[in-house]
Amino acid sequence: MRKTLQFFQLFLATFAIYVVMHFAGGQRNLILLACLITMYLAEKADTMMIERGKLARALQQEKDSCKIITGKKSTSLDNLLFCKNVHQLGDAIHQVLRSLRLEVSYAQDNPGIDLLFWASGEKYLFGLKVIGDISEMSDDLKDWDAIRKFDKGQGGNQRLVVIGSNSIEENDSDLGVTGFLDFTKNIQEMLVDKHILGMTTQTLHKIHGLCTKKHIDPRLILNLMHSHPGGVFRLEQYG
- Per residue in 190-224, pLDDT (tens digit) is 899 888 899 999 999 989 989 988 889 999 999 99
36 and 86 part of one domain: no
Answer whether residue 61 shows pLDDT above 60. Answer: no
Contact by Cβ (8 Å): 5, 40: no
Answer whether residue 103 shows pLDDT above 70. Answer: yes
Strand partners, 130: 163
User: Residues 22-58: pLDDT tens digits?
Assistant: 777 777 777 777 877 887 777 776 666 666 666 666 5
In a domain, 195, yes or no: yes
In a domain, 67, yes or no: no
DSSP string covering 58-84: HHHHTTT-SPPP-S-TTSSHHHHTT--
Q: Would you place residue 237 in the very low, low, confident or very high pLDDT band (cuts 50, 70, 90)? A: confident
94 and 42 part of one domain: no
3 state SS of 44: helix
In a domain, 69, yes or no: no
Higher per-residue pLDDT: 67 or 131: 131
Answer whether residue 73 shows pLDDT above 60. Answer: no
Answer whether residue 225 shows pLDDT above 90. Answer: yes
14 and 53 part of one domain: yes
Per-residue CA distances from 219 to 122, 134, 154, 215, 231 (Å): 8, 26, 19, 11, 20
C-alpha to C-alpha distance for 187 and 185, rounded to whole angstroms: 5
54 closest CA partner among 227, 176, 213:
213
113 and 191 part of one domain: yes
223 closest CA partner among 45, 41, 66:
45
- By residue range, what is the domain housing residue 148? 77-234
Higher per-residue pLDDT: 168 or 113: 113
Q: Residue 197 has what DSSP assignment? A: E
Predicted TM-score (pTM) of the model is 0.69
119 and 55 part of one domain: no
In a domain, 239, yes or no: no
The count of structural domains within the chain is: 2
57 and 99 part of one domain: no
148 and 207 part of one domain: yes
114 and 42 part of one domain: no
Cβ neighbours around 86 below 10 Å, total: 16
C-alpha to C-alpha distance for 86 and 93, rounded to whole angstroms: 10
In a domain, 66, yes or no: no
User: Residues 111-150: pLDDT tens digits?
Assistant: 789 999 999 998 899 999 999 999 888 877 666 777 888 8
In a domain, 112, yes or no: yes
186 and 83 part of one domain: yes
168 and 82 part of one domain: yes
Residue 167 sits in a domain whose CATH number is 3.40.91
81 and 18 part of one domain: no
3 state SS of 117: strand
In a domain, 72, yes or no: no
In a domain, 81, yes or no: yes
32 and 127 part of one domain: no
Answer whether residue 188 shows pLDDT above 50. Answer: yes
Contact by Cβ (8 Å): 176, 68: yes
Q: Residue 214 has what DSSP assignment? A: S
